[in-house]
A and B are shown apart, each in its own frame.
Chain A
Amino acid sequence: KQEVTQIPAALSVPEGENLVLNCSFTDSAIYNLQWFRQDPGKGLTSLLLIQSSQREQTSGRLNASLDKSSGRSTLYIAASQPGDSATYLCAVRPGIYNQGGKLIFGQGTELSVKP
C-alpha cells in the first residue's frame, strides 16, 4: 500500500532564506508526482509535476526533484517571501500504468515565512 510522508509538519523561517521541503513515498512504482500549495480554507494550486522518468522540474523560485529509487522528492524554495506562507502538499499517482487515476497525498508541511 502506497504511503506518502512529509517532514517537517511545520516550518518557520525568516524572509529571504532558502528552504527545502521533504516528501517520501513507500512504493517506487509511481506514474508521476505533484507538488501543491494550499492557502488556509482554500483549494489546491498545482505548483510542479514531475513525471517518473524525470529528475527535476523548475518554475521560477521553485525547484522540485525526484529520486524514485529511494522514494523521495524535495521542493526547494529560493529566497522565501512572506507570500510563500501556506501549506505545501506532495502527492503521488501510484502505479506505473496509472493513467489518470487517483492521487495519494502526504499530510502537508505548513510553512510560515516571517518578514
Chain B
Amino acid sequence: DTGVSQDPRHKITKRGQNVTFRCDPISEHNRLYWYRQTLGQGPEFLTYFQNEAQLEKSRLLSDRFSAERPKGSFSTLEIQRTEQGDSAMYLCASSPWTSGTYEQYFGPGTRLTVT
C-alpha cells in the first residue's frame, strides 16, 4: 500500500494557460475526493467520485474546472484559462467502500502557482 499519490507536486504556470493534475488513490478505494486549500485556510471540497461516477460538485468548481475518473481508478483535475486566484494547494483523498467510517486518506497535494 503506497498511499495516495499526486502528480506533479508543484506547478508554475502563466495566467491563461491550462493545467492538469493527476491523483492515484489507494488501490481498491472506490471513493476519490478533490479539495483546494489556500494559505492559512482549511481545505475546501471541490468534488468527489464513487468509482467513475461524479456524485457531487461544489459551487467552487466553476466552468473552467473539470474532473474525471474514467476507469474508476486514477482521476484528473483540469483547470482551463488559469487565473491568479487559482493559486492554491490541490489535495486528493480516497476512502474505501467497506470501512463504514469512510475515513479519508490524503495525498501530498499539488501546489499550483499562477503568475
Contacts and interface: CB of A to CB of B under 8 A. Distances in A.
User: Interface on chain A toward B: helix, strand, loop, or mixed SS?
Assistant: strand
Interface residues of B, number: 30
Interface in B67-115: 91, 93, 95, 97, 101-109, 111
Nearest to B95: A100
Interface residues of A, number: 27
A38 to B, nearest CB: 9
B28 interface: no
A103 B102 CA distance: 10
Contacts of B95: 100
Contacts of B50: 100
Given A43-B91, A99-B102, A102-B56, 16 more contacts: A4-B42, A6-B42, A43-B109, A44-B91, A44-B106, A46-B104, A89-B42, A91-B43, A100-B31, A100-B102, A102-B33, A103-B104, A105-B43, A107-B40, A108-B40, A108-B42
